[in-house]
Amino acid sequence: MNRSTSDSATWDVVIAGAGPVGLFLASELRLAGCTVLVLERAASADAPLKQLPFGLRGLWGSSMATFHRRGLLEAMLAAPDDVADGQPRPPSAIASDASQRRGPAGHFAGLQFDLADVDTTRWDYHLSGPSDTRAGISLAHLESVLAAHALANGVVVRRGCAVESFEASDDGVTVEAGGQRFHARFLVGCDGGRSMVRKLGGFEFAGTEPEFTGYSIQATFEDPTLLPQGRHFSAHGMVTQWQPGVIGLVDFDGGAAHRLEPLTLEHVQAVLRRVSGTQVTLTALHLAATWTDRSRQATTYRRGRVLLAGDAAHVHSPLGGQGLNLGLGDAMNLGWKLGATLRGEAPDGLLDSYTTERHPVGARILDWTRAQVALMRPGTEALQSIMRDLLHTRDGATYFAERLWGVSIQHGPGGAHPLVGRSCPDFELRDGVRVGKLLRDGHGLLLDFDPATPLRALEGRWGARVRYVASDATERFGLSAVLVRPDGVVAWASDAAPDIALLEAAAASWFVPAQD
């Protein structure tokens, strides 16, 4: 390997990892005007586990709002490869008419709850709109859309180029990857649960070790009738067969079999027999992979010029499909803050707020997945029965949907108004334009719903970074004005006549006035 080869350019940001989080973060940084290089270990984006059925990923809540705000929602939902049993897998919109809501809304520890029991009217500041959709799409399709978006915006991606080492200083980072040196002002690790950036950067990764080995299996059975489709709990774990021969299996072995090589037909058959309590015989093993409920989180997401996002910052079991949505939220939060820092337009502490805002969100998800593991342990059948009853109530289903879809996420300690720190409702203005569309340029918004307010005097106060929009909305929850960050999070809101001094004080944490 030729260590003398060097990329003489200095990039604003080098990102390790071309998965969904790395690609989306790269596009966010380009939106902020930064130069971005993405280094990816794998030589090809193709992989069997990214395709259906095992590549199926659930997107909802904050992720759908994120894609709506960046003009990617239609491309995400137009998933040509999302087929199961030869049938299209359509997205699921949350119907505004409660009587039209039907079908599974999600699960907790394998116990499903129904969309018909979810009462979205109980969620404060909830508005139905384009992003009020849940979708199951393949990881391959998701990455394809995000890669095309990144490349179209000028992101440079180098595959087959794994980060091997780096040196960080107060001025920047020099990265060794694929026999070359790359210079950047910042390095972001989006390189997964076994992140090299996290390890080399000396980040503490605190948490708990696994209780089980999970298996994703695609096989042919000698007698398919021995293992009915559906979800089955046992004294050793859980087996779910959602398509003929496509199985998810949880074996409470303390994670002993994770990354066992090779995963033979004989081993998989023995585990399947023991956990399912049946004498199934496999005649062919087409695909098998393992995973665990190991739950760990970096104690900080930033060390100087090095940052973490996605699975590099937090790992947990995939139960409930929270990891991808959590990682995309990291990217949305970090992108505009790092961009403002690089442009010299960031108030003191803006970049550090990435950790202070996203770490509690990640910790909450880790607790959510640990609670599911606790409920799945052998011997908890009585507790499962009670939880199943709760999930079939209006209160229970509404609560679990709120948590699963990220409706109740609030960044930071909040503020004087309960909407501060939460995702901005997708207000529909009088001209029919929605707030999500107004956020596509990556700038903030000052929404002035009441023409009698004095806010027009602030037009241009933060330059082009905050757009002033004066318009009433079809539904505005009694609000007179709202200040929205580039990531769609509310920075300030008022129900009464706005106090300009209070608004400017709230905005000071996020935006530097243009004249400064």
pLDDT band, residue 187 (cuts 50/70/90): very high
> Would the pLDDT of 174 be above 90?
yes
pLDDT band, residue 80 (cuts 50/70/90): low
> Would the pLDDT of 81 be above 80?
no
User: Domain of 74?
Assistant: 6-94+132-204+297-376
Last residue of a domain, one of 248, 271, 292: 292
In angstroms, the CA 464 to CA 332 distance is: 19
Note whether 333 and 350 are within 8 A (CB): no
Question: What pLDDT was estimated at residue 507?
Answer: 95
Question: What pLDDT was estimated at residue 414?
Answer: 77
Q: Which tokens is 60 given? A: 């909802």
Residues 143 and 30 in one domain: yes
Residues 194 and 247 in one domain: no
CATH at residue 47: 3.50.50.60
Residues 43 and 153 in one domain: yes
Question: What pLDDT was estimated at residue 6?
Answer: 63
Residue 395 lies in a domain: no
> Would the pLDDT of 478 be above 70?
yes
Residues 323 and 225 in one domain: no
pLDDT-wise least confident of 14-18, 156-160, 457-461: 457-461
CATH at residue 499: 3.40.30.120
> Would the pLDDT of 516 be above 70?
no
**In the chain, pLDDT over 70 holds for what percent of residues?**
94
3-state secondary structure string across 399-441: HHHHHHCCCCCCCCCCCCCCCCCCECCCCEECCCCEHHHHCCC
Based on the structure, what is the number of domains in the chain?
3
Model pTM score: 0.94
Residue 189 lies in a domain: yes
In angstroms, the CA 320 to CA 302 distance is: 27
* Average pLDDT of every residue of the chain: 92
Residue 31 lies in a domain: yes
> Would the pLDDT of 14 be above 90?
yes
Last residue of a domain, one of 263, 292, 321: 292
120-130 confidence digits (pLDDT tens): 999 999 998 88
Residue 398 lies in a domain: no
CATH at residue 261: 3.30.70.2450
Region 131-142: mean pLDDT is 88
217-238 confidence digits (pLDDT tens): 999 999 999 999 998 999 999 9
Look at residues 263, 251, 256, 175 and name the one whose alpha carbon lies nearest to residue 214: 251
Residue with the larger pLDDT of the pair 48 and 12: 12
> Would the pLDDT of 1 be above 60?
no
Question: What pLDDT was estimated at residue 270?
Answer: 97
Residues 197 and 332 in one domain: yes
List the end-to-end C-alpha distance of the chain, in Å, as a whole number. Answer: 49
Residues 58 and 153 in one domain: yes
> Would the pLDDT of 46 be above 60?
yes
Beta-carbon contacts of 408 under 8 Å, excluding residues fewer than 6 positions away, are 123, 402
Q: Which tokens is 139 given? A: 């990881």
Residues 142 and 51 in one domain: yes
360-409 confidence digits (pLDDT tens): 999 999 999 999 999 999 999 999 999 999 999 999 999 999 999 988 89
Residue 247 lies in a domain: yes
Region 13-40: mean pLDDT is 98
**In the chain, pLDDT over 90 holds for what percent of residues?**
80
Residues 315 and 239 in one domain: no
In angstroms, the CA 336 to CA 31 distance is: 8
